[in-house]
Amino acid sequence: MAVLKPRQGVALAAVLVLLYWNIWFAATAFFLWLAVRELRSDGSRGDGGFYLPYFLSVIALAGACIWPPLSNWRFESKMASVATRLADGRRAQFHCNTVVDMIFSPAQLNPGYTRLETGEIRFQKNACSDMRRYLRAPQEADLNALNALNLITHEAMHVRGEMREPVTECQAVQRNYRAAVLLGVPEPTARRNAADIYLKLYPRRNGTGYFSVDCAPGKALDEHLNDSIWVVMAEDQAAGK
Ligand SMILES: [Zn+2]
């Protein structure tokens, strides 16, 4: 069985410190390296030679370590593609800030922000957790999860080109049903989630720079979208839901 020497351990620790926001990649590389060493181990170094259970264990650990970044990559790709569609085709990118990103973030107090030059949307760590939680169980969405849904729609409206916050927020409110459906939420749940955002979350913006009294059906900020939350709510009301 191959054993790590102290100097190699120090080198490994240094690599981990350098790459610690990519710690999963570093850990995967480390376990793969242990697996390769084990494969090449013929016992000539007095370590007992190849040992299958050890080899399988390090392979399994490598697989476990590559899973979080793979799953994150899938999540970020999905969010970027939905934001791009919400932004009417203007290309959006999406990134979940790590702890290190948050230290250098230009908007640490905002749960999310958009770099207009690049169309890059960034969510802080908590907002990303809320978004993942929302996608896992949209039918059980609490206000934080609903906030995360509204946040991706809001940031996509910035990518689309709107900069005035009350207008951006109203554009988001009108598109949250569309956003939820694009994210794969079943339609009845998407309708309820979007209505909850308009009825429960939006009034809380009153008194902040994100609210407008003109954000209502028939008022100045109504974009008359055919899948607007107001259309959805009127349909549900007519159907007696
Ligand atoms: Zn904004």
pLDDT tens track for 145-164: 999 999 999 999 999 999 99
Instruction: Please tell me the predicted confidence (pLDDT) of residue 15.
Output: 65
- Residue 59, classed as helix, strand or coil, is helix
With residues binned 3-state (H G I as helix, E B as strand, rest as coil), the percentages for the chain, rounded to 5, are 65, 5, 30
At 46, give phi and psi (nearest 5°). 75, 25
Q: Using the mean position of ligand 1's atoms as its centre, give its distance from the Cα of residue 134 in Å.
A: 21
Confidence grade of residue 1 (pLDDT, cut at 50, 70, 90): low
pLDDT 10s digits, 23-40? 788 888 899 999 999 998
Q: Using the mean position of ligand 1's atoms as its centre, give its distance from the Cα of residue 157 in Å.
A: 8
Asked whether the beta carbons of 138 and 148 are under 8 A apart, the reply is no
Instruction: Please tell me the predicted confidence (pLDDT) of residue 110.
Output: 85
- Describe the strand order of the beta sheet including 93-96 as a list of residue ranges: 93-96, 120-123, 112-115
Confidence grade of residue 18 (pLDDT, cut at 50, 70, 90): low
Contacts of 207 (CB under 8 A, 6+ apart): none
Q: Using the mean position of ligand 1's atoms as its centre, give its distance from the Cα of residue 154 in Å.
A: 6
Q: Using the mean position of ligand 1's atoms as its centre, give its distance from the Cα of residue 203 in Å.
A: 17
Q: Using the mean position of ligand 1's atoms as its centre, give its distance from the Cα of residue 16 in Å.
A: 35
Q: Using the mean position of ligand 1's atoms as its centre, give its distance from the Cα of residue 112 in Å.
A: 8
Q: How many helices (H) and strands (E) does the chain have?
A: 9, 3
Q: Using the mean position of ligand 1's atoms as its centre, give its distance from the Cα of residue 126 in Å.
A: 17
d(CA 229, CA 134): 19
Quote the pTM value: 0.81
Report the percent of the chain where pLDDT is more than 70.
94
Task: Give the residue-averaged pLDDT of 52-64.
Answer: 95
pLDDT 10s digits, 102-134? 777 777 778 999 998 899 999 999 999 999 999
Instruction: Please tell me the predicted confidence (pLDDT) of residue 196.
Output: 98
pLDDT 10s digits, 42-54? 877 667 788 999 9
d(CA 98, CA 69): 12
Q: Using the mean position of ligand 1's atoms as its centre, give its distance from the Cα of residue 168 in Å.
A: 6
Q: Using the mean position of ligand 1's atoms as its centre, give its distance from the Cα of residue 52 in Å.
A: 55
Task: Give the residue-averaged pLDDT of 165-173.
Answer: 98
Q: Using the mean position of ligand 1's atoms as its centre, give its distance from the Cα of residue 155 in Å.
A: 6
Q: Using the mean position of ligand 1's atoms as its centre, give its distance from the Cα of residue 83 in Å.
A: 14
Q: Using the mean position of ligand 1's atoms as its centre, give its distance from the Cα of residue 22 in Å.
A: 29
Asked whether the beta carbons of 114 and 159 are under 8 A apart, the reply is yes
Asked whether the beta carbons of 140 and 185 are under 8 A apart, the reply is no
Task: Give the residue-averaged pLDDT of 52-74.
Answer: 93
